[in-house]
Amino acid sequence: MKVQNISNNQSFQGNVIMIGKFSEMPEKLIQKSLPKLEKMIEKKPYDLFIEQNKHKGVVKVYAQKEKDFKLNKGLVSSVTMNDKEDFYEHCAEYVLKEQDIKLKNHPNFLQKCKNVVNNTAKRFVEALFDKDEV
């Protein structure tokens, strides 16, 4: 009989997702940077998206949770760069740091509920002990 260890540790697996088709030059530069990008994002709770706008000649690198990306909502951090430049690793590093800061400072649903309850209780206690009101 085999017993599996049960662990409460959450392990995230962020991915690098390339959206759409790319021109030859950006494709080559991204493929060159891809191993480093995958290593940067592997333990993050969100994904790294790369998208080219051929008409404007730019590439957009952004970090967001995949489910939020599909719904077009949620926290997102992005950088836009010229599609002929090789700054993917630097852009990804900046975007990941920015997204980490946003996630750290953005309260989750449970924290928002606690804030509402605490504020309501505080107002109730103030109203209860207000001597001017009868």
Confidence (pTM): 0.68
Instruction: Give the domain extent around 116.
Output: 16-122
* Within a domain: 7: no
* Within a domain: 2: no
Give the model's confidence band at 8: pLDDT under 50 very low, under 70 low, under 90 confident, else very high.
very low
Per-residue pLDDT at 95: 92
* Within a domain: 6: no
Domains contained in the chain, number: 1
Tens of pLDDT, residues 60-117? 998 988 888 788 888 888 888 888 888 888 889 999 999 888 888 877 777 778 888 8
Tens of pLDDT, residues 47-59? 999 999 888 989 9
Q: What is d(CA 39, CA 93) in angstroms, rounded to the nearest whole number?
A: 11
* Within a domain: 129: no
